[in-house]
Every structure is written in structure tokens, then in C-alpha cells.
Amino acid sequence: MILQFLVLIFLLPVSASVVSSRASYFLMATASLLALLFSVFGVVQGITESAVYANNLVLGSDPLSDFFVMVSSVVWFLASVYSLQYDSNPKTNCAMYSVAIYCMLIVLLSRSTILFMFGWEGMSIAGFFMIGYKKHVKSFPAFVFLMFSELSSLLLILTFGFFFYLSGSFLIPQTASLTPFIFIGMTGFFIKMGLLPFAVTEWLPIAHGSAPANGSILLSSVMTLMGVYGILRFTMIAGSSVDYGIALMSIGAFSALFAALYAASSEHTKSLPAFSTIENNGAILVSVGAYMVTESLGYASLAGFALATTLLYSFAHSVAKSGVFMFSGVIEKTTGRVKLTDVEGSQSGFKHATGGLFSALSLMGLLPFGGGLGEWMLLETLFVMSTLPNLFVSVVSIIVGAAIALGSGASLVAMSKLYGFGVLWKKGLSKGGLMSSALFSTGCTVALLGLLGVLVIFIYNSVVMDFADYSTHLILSGLLAIPNGLLIVSSSPQGTFGFVSPTMDFALISLFTAITYVAVGKMRMRRTKVWNNGVPLRGRYNSFAYSNPLRLMLKVFYRTHEHSSTNQASHETIMDIFWVVMIRLAKLVSRFSEQFGRGFMNSKISYYLLYMTVAFAAVMVYLVA
């Protein structure tokens, strides 16, 4: 009953968007809140529900999908509140925004493959419209996005076709055997997550397209989350094997490192977070892989811990990433600039700065924020795995751990750059307003995730139970001055390995700050002229110069090329090597498809497209009914 209710309620914003975008966002915010409430209830209680509409329209919820609905609805709520003030291109954007969210909900709640594909495609097409068609942009961001989305859909269809072949029904099975088809499906999911070598599907549309901040939040935080959900669902269905786990870990580690380095050298307020998403998704994939490996080797406690990492990390990332995009969005709104080197005098105020700061700190992987907790848990998992007796596994864990740590270091550069240069030139107090409030709330959420990480872990116990048959309650413990339940413990087969307590970290930081403040009293401040070697200040150290030592040191990686002429302009270029390969491939494919199209369809392409869409819709209706 609840499920039908949810599905219907989310239709309200979609229909309202035709009339008034503000009403639509408001309704979306309310709907997300309701979804949040229900999903939290569902996760805590561990209930499974299902509702059948017609033969092949099956909705269902279990702790796993409840968890993801929980995470997504937090982001949807914050983004909708943000959009109330932010929205730049009301009608179309709002409609697409609502449709995208609706389809994502469908993806999370569907138990039939047809419905899943409907949601998946709908989500991608809405994304396509949000990114927008820009004739003059050579990189065709919208088409790149659509192309890769269709590729992932194709792979999913293949897998689902295989399921149909096996079981004869369109339902997502409860169990299946681990075959290469599962891996094909997983590939479809990590294309969506934007992992190497498909990174370009994630950063390019966001960087070069005209998706506004709320659209970027959806594309980056939540759509990629769908990929994580998909992988976890398949893992639940098909079980795990060491080989698949190692493969996932390698892909994840590789992506994380590369993406972090690209983020560190990026100058664009949108593409920097986009790269950061790829890095975080890589880390999430590593933890999924770690779960698979440890589960297959029979270490239940480790597997449970690894899965707990995945869930917490995704939660922290989705929220923090939305925060960062909101931050970039405010900068764009107030200064009209997207290049970090041009940003000057953004109207920064307390809420904007704090919200952005917390989100950035979380993404840097610093305690006591949610991202820091996730990072700690991930590295602990890898540390423990490196002590396992299986030599291959431990060596891979060490290498993967090094890559993740390096990526984390590079993300420190990237995020400090984005945050630092984004707030550096304050012109006065912020206008306040809903944008900043939303940003502030996001920041606080991610801070809370860390502080109350123990609570979150406690809550999603049911999810982990479903998977690993291991209670997350065992992860929580106490020590000396730390009350029972506030300590997160990682354990190895030999016993306790390590522990952390972000709540205590925060408590101690606050305590010492308070003591210092009381002891020292009010701060004395004096303003003084800037010292610049005795002459007036001139020139400005910009964000390009901030990461340039990195670009010059890693010349081979970045393909840095410095053009200088004796008299005039000097500049430097770097390239994403995967994108270069993609472009070559794309040119090949496009030449082929042009020839094929000329030969096979000799009329206007758009007619064929229309025909195909209609036919597809008709088939869907037939199958459903």
C-alpha cells in the first residue's frame, strides 16, 4: 500500500511542473520527506513488501532498496529546497528534474525487469534534456551522455534477457548463478557510475553541458547511486566470487586514482566535483569488491564491515556531493563564472561558506565528517584484507589501498582548491535565502553523518544482515571513556584491528575549543595592510597556479604541453587520455553508422527515431498488459 502511495505521490510534482515550477519543487520536497520517513522505517524494521499491478508491473521494497530510497530522498529533499531559489530555466528544467526523480524512484522500487528498464531509460532521457542540446559545443555533451546511457541500457537488457531465458518471467530473480552475464550487467551499472574507461560519460556532460546545479546534483550524486544499487542488487542475487571481487577492486582503484588526479588539475567549478564523483564511485566499487572477496573467502565479519563501508560511503558521498554542487551553483549564480580562475567576489557568507566547507571536508575524507568515516572504514577493510593468509588477495589489497590513499590525497588538493578559491574573496554577507540554507543544511547533514555515524550504521543493520548475515551491531562497541555504542570497531580474524569514534572526536574538539575560548577570552583583531615586498599588491595567485606544480610533475600522466612563444601568449594544455581514445573510437563508429544509416535508412532520421520510440512504447504497453 505504501509503495503505491509513494509512486502516486511522486507523480504530483511531475504534473505540477507544467503549471508552476515553485509548486513542483515544493511538492517534490514534501514527497521526498515522506519517502525518507517510510524508507527509514523500512530499513529499521527490516520489512519486505511488494505490490503487484499487473502481470509484469511489480513493485517491491526490501531493506536494500529502502536504504537507497533513504539516501536518495535526503538528496532529493535538499536539492528541491535548493531549487526553489536556484532554478534558472524554469519550465523544462523543472519538468525534467521531476521526471528524473520519479524514474529513479521506479528503478529503486521495481521488481520487474521491464519496470526497471522503464525507470532506467526514463532517468537517462530526462538527464539528456537537462544537459541540453548545445549546437556550438563541439563535445556534444548531451549526446555523449545519451550514448553511454544507451550502452548501459543495452548491457542491462542483455542481462535481463538472460534472466528471462532462465526463468521465463520478467521478474528480477531472487537468486541466480554467477555467470558472465552478471558481469555484463554489472558493467552496465558501472558505466552509469562513470568508472574508467567510461569516465567521460560522467564528467563531460556536467562540465560542458548546460545542466544547472540541481540537474548536476541529480546526475552526479543520485544517478550514479543507482549504479551502486544495481551492483549491490546483482551481488545479492548472484552471490560473489574472489575473481569478480578482485576485478571490481582493481577497476575501482584505478578509476579512483585517475579521477582524483584529474580533479586536482581541473579549473572548472562543475567538472572538478564531477571527477570527484568518479573517484568516490571508484572507492565505493572497491568496497563492493572487498565485500565479494571476503564473503567468498568466508570471513563474515570482514564482509559485513565492507558492506557497511559501502553503504555509509555512498550515503556520505551523495550528500556531500550535492553540497559541493550547490556551492558551485551559488558561485555561478552570483558571479556568473564557472572557471575557478575567474571567480572573484562571490557573495560568500556564513551559511554558504560553512555548508561548502563541511561538504568539501567530507569529500576530502576527513573525520569527523561522514566522508571521513567512510574513508576510514574503507582503508581499514583494505588493511585487514592485507593481513589475510591468501597471498594474492593481500597483495591486491595493498596495491588497491595505495591507490585509494593516493587518490584521497589528490582529492584533498582538489577540494581545498574548489573551496578555497570559491570563498576567498568575500564581498559581504550572503543574501541568505533558500540556496544558502539548503547548502548549510547539506553541510550539516554530512557532518551529522559522521557524528552520528554510529547511529546510521545501527540503522542499516537489516541491510547488512540480508547480505552477509552479520549484524552491524557487532561493529559498535565501547572503550574506556567512550560510551558503549559510540565506537566503531574494525576486526580481523585475529581479533580487534582498529577503532574510531567520530562522535568523541567532535566532542573533544568542541570541548577544547570551548576551554580555549573561555580561558583566552574575546579575540583581539587588527586589520593591517597586505605586505608585498614593500610595493603595492599586484597580480593574483590563481587556482591554475595552485595545481600547476602537479601538472608539471606528472607531465606523462597529464600529457602536459606547454606552448610558449617568445613574445606573447603562453599557455598550457592537458588532456584526459581516455577521452582521446574515446574520440578516436567515436569517430570510427560515427563513420560506420553514417554509412550504415545511409544504406539502411534512406529517409529523414528523425522519422525513424519517432517510429522507434512509438514502437518501443507500444511493445512495453503490450507486455505490461
Partner 1 sequence: MKNWFVYGIKKGVVTTKYPSGKAEDVAAWSTKPVRVSGGQVDCPTSAICGGDVNMAKCICCGRCSDSFAPNDVVELAEVRMNNSSFKRSFHIYILDAGSCGACNLEVQALGNPLYDLNRLGIFFTNTPRHADALLVVGVVADAMRDVLVETYEAIPEPKLVFAVGSCASSGTLFGLSVTKVLKTDIIVPGCPPNPYTILDALIRAKGGVK
Partner 2 sequence: MFQEGDKYYAVKGLDKTIIEETGVTQLEKYENFHALKLEFGSELKGTEVFCFTYGPTAGGLTESIGFDVYTYGERILRVIPKPLYKNRNIKISGLNVSDALLRFERYNAVFSSSYSIAFLRCAERIVGLDVEQDVQLLRIVMLELERISHHLYVLGRLSEAASQNVATANLFALRETVLRLISKHFGHRYFFGINGLAAISRDVDVGGLGNEIKSLSREFMVLWDMLSESRIFVDRLQTTCIAKQPWMVGPALRAAGHNHDTRESDHSLPYKDVYFEVQTHGDGDSLGRAIVRANELLESAQIIQQITDKLKLVKKRRIILDASCDGGAICRLESPSGDLLILIKLSGGKLSNIYLRSPSKANLLGFVNGISSNVFTDFHFAWESFGFWVSELGDIL
CB of 538 or CB of 598, closer to partner 2: 538
Contact between 345 and partner 2 by CB under 8 A: the answer reads no
Find which of partner 2, partner 1, none residue 529 binds, CB within 5 to 8 Å per kind: partner 1
Contact between 542 and partner 2 by CB under 8 A: the answer reads yes
* C-alpha triplet 507, 512, 513: angle, nearest 5°: 100
Buried-state track 543-558, b at ≥16 Cβ within 10 A, e below 16: bbebbeebbeebeebb
Among 280, 547, 579, 582, binds partner 2 (CB under 8 A): 547
Query: Closest separation between CB of residue 424 and partner 1, Å?
Result: 20
Q: What is the 3-state secondary structure (H, E, C) of 289-352?
A: HHHHHHHHHCCHHHHHHHHHHHHHHHHHHHHHHHHHHHHHHHHHHHHCCCEHHHCCCCCCCHHH
Query: Closest separation between CB of residue 538 and partner 2, Å?
Result: 6
Stretch that binds partner 2, among 123-131, 282-290, 461-469, 534-542 (CB under 8 A): 534-542
Contact between 621 and partner 2 by CB under 8 A: the answer reads no
Contact between 546 and partner 2 by CB under 8 A: the answer reads yes
- Contacts by residues 35-39 (CB-CB < 8 Å, ≥ 24 positions apart): 35/6, 35/10, 35/69, 35/72, 35/73, 35/76, 35/105, 36/69, 36/70, 36/73, 36/74, 36/77, 38/2, 38/6, 38/66, 38/69, 39/66, 39/67, 39/69, 39/70, 39/73
Among 136, 522, 524, 529, binds partner 1 (CB under 8 A): 529
The C-alpha cell 568496497 sits at 287
**Cα 307 to the chain's mean position, in Å?**
17
Q: Rounded distance, CA 360 to CA 415, Å?
A: 6
Residue numbers 259-318 binding partner 2 by CB under 8 A: 267
Query: Closest separation between CB of residue 262 and partner 2, Å?
Result: 17
Contact between 534 and partner 2 by CB under 8 A: the answer reads yes
Query: Closest separation between CB of residue 537 and partner 1, Å?
Result: 11
Q: Rounded distance, CA 563 to CA 569, Å?
A: 8
Find which of partner 1, partner 2, none residue 481 binds, CB within 5 to 8 Å per kind: none
Q: Rounded distance, CA 209 to CA 145, Å?
A: 10
CB of 528 or CB of 565, closer to partner 1: 528
Largest interatomic CA distance in the chain: 83
Among 428, 519, 525, 531, binds partner 1 (CB under 8 A): 531
Q: Rounded distance, CA 225 to CA 318, Å?
A: 8
Contact between 535 and partner 1 by CB under 8 A: the answer reads yes
Contact between 416 and partner 2 by CB under 8 A: the answer reads no
Nearest CA to 206 out of 141, 264, 156 is that of: 141
Stretch that binds partner 2, among 92-100, 347-355, 437-445, 542-550 (CB under 8 A): 542-550
Stretch that binds partner 2, among 48-56, 371-379, 500-508, 568-576 (CB under 8 A): 568-576
Nearest CA to 35 out of 1, 55, 5, 62 is that of: 5
Contact between 557 and partner 2 by CB under 8 A: the answer reads no
Contact between 518 and partner 2 by CB under 8 A: the answer reads no
Query: Closest separation between CB of residue 265 and partner 2, Å?
Result: 11
Contact between 534 and partner 1 by CB under 8 A: the answer reads yes
Residue numbers 499-528 binding partner 1 by CB under 8 A: 528
CB of 531 or CB of 600, closer to partner 1: 531
Stretch that binds partner 2, among 278-286, 369-377, 491-499, 549-557 (CB under 8 A): 549-557
Q: Rounded distance, CA 319 to CA 359, Å?
A: 8
7 C-beta neighbours (distance < 10 Å), count? 17
Interface with partner 1 by CB under 8 A: which residues?
528-529, 531, 534-535
Interface with partner 2 by CB under 8 A: which residues?
267, 341, 532-535, 538-542, 544-549, 551-552, 562, 564, 568-572
